[in-house]
Structure 1
Amino acid sequence: HHETEDGHHGSQRVAQDVDVEHHVLGQAFRACGANVLLAQFPLRLADAVIASPEADGRADAARTAATAFVHKGQLDRAQDLYRWSDTRLSRLHAALVSVQQGKLADAESLLEAPGNGEPPTLVTAATAALVRGAIESVTTGPAAALSTLSDAAETLDPVGRSLFLPDTPAAVGALVGMQCGELPLAEALLDHAVKADGGGRTARTRHLLLSAWISMLRGDTETASRTLNSVGGELSARDWLFSVGLRAGIARRSSDLSALRDIWADVREAVLRLRVDLFTILPFAELAVAAARVGERERLAHHLRRARSLLATLGDPPLWSSTLHWNGLHAAVTADRRDEAAEHARALSRFADHSDYHQALADAAACWIDALGGAVDAERVESAARALHTAGLCWDAARLAGQAAIRTTDRSAMVTLLESARALQTGATTNTPQPASRPDSSVLSERERQVAELVVSGLTYRQVGDRLFISAKTVEHHVARMRQRLGATSRAELLAELRTLVTT
């Protein structure tokens, strides 16, 4: 389904002919392209195609309409249409929706269902990998999920521009990356998808919104606002939710309570009509903090209960659950609900072993609980704040140090923590300079060491990939992870660090 600017006008012309032939119905619906998202007529046309036994392209019409309903946040309706369509691609899309709804067994069953003799296209291969990656984010962990989703994104590259998709590997990969501290990898996936125009106009909007979210997490509200403003105003329900979450998050991080109140007044009614799924926990969690800030926590209580129930059905996967608890902690702190804040901190401590990122959240949460009780250990707070900063949560890091400084009665600790907060806010660190030392080669996995050796020898990513029988994109992702782990601020610095490591 190619996205066309004139699809809506074409559909209006078809509407004028009440005696339209069945086969013309199918042709007209296919001409609507991405406009199915924003106009009601194409969806009525789809319904006519599906209901007409002799119409052309009934399965395709059902799948495209189902995809529109995913963007509208109506997953049950989408699921019905995908299953009725019953092509291999429709079943894979239904599997992805099942993951979003917390129905993992259904997703796995749909993923493994035998085909109907359909050819193994790039689109079905990429979509199958997307579903596997989404499942792995729940059952296995971030490393496996990100690897699978990166492969899915690369597989989709040659054909992605002409497709109308319920979601993309880049978008799901970014959601996973943002919730496990892999911001450089999430950013690389999104940047490539935007440049390649994967998924067309509708996917581009989603990719830009997620890119803005990464900037917001880093505390770069200026870039986040600029990217958000580039998106435009005509948004699907799902994109609108992310847009609203961004606006609220930017206002909160800018300490602009007046703007936050205005945003909340605009959305407080509309947001009630949306439903929570696995891929919308991020904006709902951000809006939960905004609701606490303006004194209307009850407005989102139902959504948050649904989110907790969904995650419980999935076994409380750390990658997705930690976001809800981290933001829940801050909503509770804002509302001065200490017992509730302590519950969220305990939940985060249970996830601490999942990854370094989750350990950072757990340590920071413990520092927040201590600070609420007036017990501030400056050294422990600084350590926790630096770990948040390393994970990419720069604004959260500075806020932890700043709030601990306000709450301590020790003047020396207050001065130290305020200096730390200022440094973390600007991206610096408060570590006392130490003599230069050789980095520990054990920080690299065996595969990363192989990649590093070839990169420092001057090979391109494609040449490295050819040598190691992996894709250039996978090489790029290995390099992004090494850069984050080593704390390198430039390519030159990274190469110098890697050169030292591979010669030890």
Structure 2
Amino acid sequence: MGWQNEHSVLIGRLVELDRLTVVLDSAAAGLAGVALVGGDAGIGKTRLVTELGERAKAAGFAVLVGQCAELGDALPYLPLADALRSARGELRAAIDARPVLGRLLPGGTDLGPETTSGLTQQQLFGSMLGFLAAQPVLLILEDLHWADQSTRDLLVFLSRMLQTERVCLVGTYRTDDLHRRHPLRRVLAELKRLPSVTAVELSPLDRGEMADYLAALGGDDVQMISDVVDRAEGNPFYAEELLEAAIDGSMMTDGLASLLLSRAELLSDAAQRVLRGAAVAGRRVDHDLLREASGLDELAFEEAMREIVSRGLLRTNGEYGYAFRHALLQEAVYTDLLPGERTRMHSEFARLLTARKGAAAELAYHYLAGHDLAEALSASVEAGRRAERLGAPAEAHRHFEQALGLWDRVPDAERLAGTDHVRLALRTAAAAADMGDNHRAIAQAREIPPSAEVSERLAYYLYDSDDVPGAITAAEAAVAAAPSGTPVLARALATLSRALSWGARHAEVRPLADRALEVARATGASDAEKSATIMLASWAEYEGDLTRAEELFGSAAARDSGDLAMDLRAIFHYARIQFEHGSMAAAAVTADRGVRLARDAGLTWSTYGTDLRFLQFLIRYMAGEWAQAQETAAGFGTRVGKIPEAILSSFALFIEVAMGMPAVEERLTWLRPFWSDALVAYMSRGLAAEHALWRQEPELALEHATAVLDTMDAIDVGNIRISAIALWALADLGRTDGADELLARARRAARPGMGFEGRAWLARAEAEWHRAHGRADVEAWRAVVEAFDVGFAYEAARSRWRLAEALLASGERVAALKEWERAVEVAASLGARPLSAALAELGRRARFAPAQPGLLTGREREVLALVAEGLPNREIGERLFIAQKTVSVHVSNILGKLGVSSRTQAAAVARKDDLL
């Protein structure tokens, strides 16, 4: 009876359901959200999210539900695989387009060659994010208290990265299972701080709600309902069991476990045997597997199952299996097994799963529980390999560590594992590094007998942990121990050159990289070859040989090394150096190629995937392709919770500040808590300073710029740009104090090999220094224009604004007008409202010609007339039979062409200059 309540009327949870529905509605409107539903076992979490699922389906959402299992810690991404199985239509096509997701499904795509699981995890996470953007989706992950670490990591990633997708992510968990050191506790604490996360805690139902609930289940005896309410303590599942027992005439025993077992004890011996087998299998079990494990023939098994299902202990699950109605029931039956009985049944399941070539993680679980250590070792190693290829490094590490723990207890371990102890230990350390635990990777690498390969890996982990001296020592040991003319020597040399870069022994980098390149080519070590080439290119760039640097970066980017991370790194640096040298078109082609590679591989959110997207954005921004730049920036997100997200969000400020968009203030509010990070501060506070200058707040701009400079190393090339902005603020304030120091700082940060942009900003700092001292130096500003006028459309236009000012001050009115007109045209075409407004003000002061009617198209003049009437965009669209979005574009163009920043100002200029 109780098991039928999944589709009964929801009682006592309307407030909680309304809170979840708000998250769902926000997702439907394009603001993704996450809800975490906690409560004791049996309190009604599944019933609540089932109701939410019904509402979601009615609203046009695809509903995907995945469930963790108690052995989920051994099975990576179990709830995700469970959820993806039910995908249909567009979502199924979206999975097919992402092979890394297909690997999670039964009979899915081949796992492929063994690879670095940390990178594979990034691929999976990125692919999952892209998959969820396919259509409105409600993704429910149940019983997160049993989730594996990789699933927990995915939950955190999606909670942070989902922004404007129409996605509602809901997770449920048991609060009574979260002991003090439970790994989900930390995750929940982190997620609940995010503004996009709604936490819902289910408390016990009150007496009235419980009575209504029991009546809905068929209870019609007032005294019986009262007794059940007293005993159930507000827990709906417990109440169902008590009511069932009371209706059947059974005694209502003291504990829930005893009550559940009393139901099971009413079964026949055959049915009890089947139920115990199902409990050993887990919460869900395949029909054929359970029948074979029971030892019953087909007819007897079906009779036993009919008896079990009719009593509501198991229910059918999917096409070919069964599931316990509630996890508490499975736990009670499993706990009641005798030790010998439990061992024997685990062994039987292991035997059957081996014959069926079942999941290695399940095999390892059953073999270990069945005390077959030899098979447990073999299965653990295979489970680790599979977890690696699925992109689950934490689970790979767990399985490999388990195998290492069994190694000395099992004869002939090397044959069973298919590898030697050193190789397995290296793999364990690599899995630790891939899951972000470099300290554990270092500790495990140090436990392995030293060799060239071990020392090289140790050096790599130490360098990534910022222990440069330790990395150098380990890398030198690797070079000394590596046999001549081997791939290991090539990798050791490349790693040593990397460890020595930018330090006191920087002069040794080039000869080491040269030697690494020679050995790598001779031995076919493509990864070491690419790494050495990148180091040589970086050396050439540092030394100022830009032609050689670009050539080497291009060579590295042109070849496929088989290492996606290395390939993306090479493409990024090639695009970067092309950009810095002013080759905008070539840089755009290279960056686009890298972004496509990252997207197709599911690595959009990897380190270099993110860097390439920013570079692609910056190229479009600088080249004046602002429509495409805005499109890219839209994916950077505003609601940030971590430094990497804050860095990405800061990028969007370039376009938002330049266009004077209202989103600037909101974005800066979100970024303010992260200004302790140097890169976030450099970008977001530097742009906050520009924003303040456009708003005529030079004191605030100087405060921002000074704060950024205080955190920067004196030789950081970023000093040039921030010093130039600070000098702009001083000039606007009419102050000279500090100007000389700022210019000196900019000059000190300049270095050989600096790109066009760096040299242009240095010229800008020089020109602003003159302005701060009250001099309108024409030649200084002409140098700035020439420096930026190699593809930097906006910066060139902004510099022409100051050049026009300087020309006017020197009496060269005709030349000033020419520069002003060019700047006005570019600013209007870009929609750079603050610059347009500044140019309009300069034009009024100079008595240049007012805005010309011919500058506006016929449609723009129609829109302007309706703007002047005070109509909003929606009504203008209705009047002119055009889309509201099209109206918005026309309004932006009008503001830019008229050199104003608001609709009110546009209407005033239109009336004043007879444009209506």
- Shorter-chain TM-score bucket reads 0.5 to 0.7
- Provide the C-alpha distance between the structure 2 equivalents of 1:361 and 1:116, rounded to a whole number of angstroms: 39
- Provide the C-alpha distance between the structure 1 equivalents of 2:756 and 2:708, rounded to a whole number of angstroms: 30
Q: Are residues 360 and 213 of structure 1, via their aligned partners in 2, closer, same or farther at CA, if it must alter by over 3 Å?
A: closer
Higher relative contact order (CA 8 A, sep 6+): 1
1:289 maps onto 2:686 in alignment? yes
Identity of aligned residues (%): 13
Alignment TM-score, normalising by the size of structure 1? 0.61
- 1:134 pairs with 535, 538, 543, which one? 538
Other-structure match for 1:330: 725
State the one-letter code of the partner of 1:8.
Answer: P
State the one-letter code of the partner of 2:824.
Answer: R
After superposition, give the CA deviation of every residue in 1:322-360 in whole Å (9 maximum; x if it has no partner). x54244222332355532454367669x88998876765
- 2:461 pairs with 58, 65, 69, which one? 65
1:136 Cα deviation after fit: 0.7
Q: Is the 8 A contact 2:638 2:667 kept in 1?
A: no
- Provide the C-alpha distance between the structure 2 equivalents of 1:374 and 1:141, rounded to a whole number of angstroms: 38
SS of residue in 1 equivalent to 2:703: coil
Bigger Rg over Cα: 2
Other-structure match for 2:673: 266
Q: Which runs of 5+ in 2 are unaligned?
A: 1-114, 122-390, 408-420, 480-487, 690-700, 732-737, 832-916
Q: Are residues 267 and 329 of structure 1, via their aligned partners in 2, closer, same or farther at CA, if it must alter by over 3 Å?
A: same
- 1:205 pairs with 594, 610, 615, which one? 610
Q: Is the 8 A contact 2:579 2:587 kept in 1?
A: yes
Other-structure match for 1:470: none
- Provide the C-alpha distance between the structure 1 equivalents of 2:638 and 2:475, rounded to a whole number of angstroms: 29
Q: Is the 8 A contact 2:624 2:794 kept in 1?
A: yes
1:133 Cα deviation after fit: 0.8
- 1:246 pairs with 645, 648, 651, which one? 651
State the one-letter code of the partner of 2:579.
Answer: M
- Provide the C-alpha distance between the structure 1 equivalents of 2:641 and 2:516, rounded to a whole number of angstroms: 33
Other-structure match for 2:595: 194
Equivalence map 1:395-406=2 (5 Å):
395-405=794-804
Other-structure match for 1:421: 823
Q: Is the 8 A contact 2:785 2:799 kept in 1?
A: yes
1:267 Cα deviation after fit: 1.3
Other-structure match for 2:399: 14
Other-structure match for 1:436: none
1:210 Cα deviation after fit: 2.3
Query: Pairwise CA RMSD of aligned residues?
Result: 4.7
Q: Are residues 154 and 307 of structure 1, via their aligned partners in 2, closer, same or farther at CA, if it must alter by over 3 Å?
A: farther
State the one-letter code of the partner of 2:393.
Answer: H
State the one-letter code of the partner of 2:619.
Answer: I
1:47 maps onto 2:442 in alignment? yes
Q: Are residues 173 and 199 of structure 1, via their aligned partners in 2, closer, same or farther at CA, if it must alter by over 3 Å?
A: farther
After superposition, give the CA deviation of every residue in 1:390-429 in whole Å (9 maximum; x if it has no partner). 2x3222222222345567556947654442222333379x
1:148 maps onto 2:552 in alignment? yes
- 1:95 pairs with 476, 497, 520, which one? 497
1:216 maps onto 2:624 in alignment? no
Q: Is the 8 A contact 1:382 1:417 kept in 2?
A: no
Q: Is the 8 A contact 1:170 1:190 kept in 2?
A: yes
- Provide the C-alpha distance between the structure 2 equivalents of 1:25 and 1:92, rounded to a whole number of angstroms: 23
Q: Are residues 362 and 301 of structure 1, via their aligned partners in 2, closer, same or farther at CA, if it must alter by over 3 Å?
A: closer
- Provide the C-alpha distance between the structure 2 equivalents of 1:26 and 1:217, rounded to a whole number of angstroms: 46
After superposition, give the CA deviation of every residue in 1:435-469 in whole Å (9 maximum; x if it has no partner). xxxxxxxxxxxxxxxxxxxxxxxxxxxxxxxxxxx
Q: Is the 8 A contact 1:289 1:328 kept in 2?
A: no
1:368 maps onto 2:764 in alignment? no
- Provide the C-alpha distance between the structure 2 equivalents of 1:372 and 1:404, rounded to a whole number of angstroms: 15
Other-structure match for 1:179: 580
Equivalence map 1:294-373=2 (5 Å):
295-297=703-705, 299-304=707-712, 306-308=713-715, 321=717, 324-336=719-731, 337-343=738-744, 360-361=760-761, 363-373=763-773
- Provide the C-alpha distance between the structure 2 equivalents of 1:244 and 1:79, rounded to a whole number of angstroms: 35
Q: Are residues 116 and 126 of structure 1, via their aligned partners in 2, closer, same or farther at CA, if it must alter by over 3 Å?
A: closer
The structure carrying a bigger helix percent of its residues is 1
After superposition, give the CA deviation of every residue in 1:33-65 in whole Å (9 maximum; x if it has no partner). xxx46x44x434413431222599735643663
- Provide the C-alpha distance between the structure 2 equivalents of 1:307 and 1:223, rounded to a whole number of angstroms: 35
Q: Is the 8 A contact 1:332 1:340 kept in 2?
A: no
State the one-letter code of the partner of 2:540.
Answer: E
1:376 Cα deviation after fit: 3.7
Q: Are residues 421 and 332 of structure 1, via their aligned partners in 2, closer, same or farther at CA, if it must alter by over 3 Å?
A: same
Q: Are residues 290 and 415 of structure 1, via their aligned partners in 2, closer, same or farther at CA, if it must alter by over 3 Å?
A: same
Other-structure match for 1:4: 120
Q: Which runs of 5+ in 1 are unaligned?
A: 273-279, 312-320, 429-504
- Provide the C-alpha distance between the structure 1 equivalents of 2:759 and 2:702, rounded to a whole number of angstroms: 30
- Provide the C-alpha distance between the structure 2 equivalents of 1:100 and 1:359, rounded to a whole number of angstroms: 22
The structure carrying a bigger strand percent of its residues is 2
SS of residue in 2 equivalent to 1:4: helix
SS of residue in 1 equivalent to 2:531: helix
1:160 maps onto 2:551 in alignment? no
- Provide the C-alpha distance between the structure 1 equivalents of 2:547 and 2:533, rounded to a whole number of angstroms: 14
- Provide the C-alpha distance between the structure 2 equivalents of 1:76 and 1:142, rounded to a whole number of angstroms: 30
Q: Is the 8 A contact 1:285 1:324 kept in 2?
A: no
Q: Are residues 355 and 179 of structure 1, via their aligned partners in 2, closer, same or farther at CA, if it must alter by over 3 Å?
A: closer
SS of residue in 2 equivalent to 1:206: helix
- Provide the C-alpha distance between the structure 2 equivalents of 1:144 and 1:237, rounded to a whole number of angstroms: 38
How many residue pairs get matched?
392
SS of residue in 1 equivalent to 2:618: helix
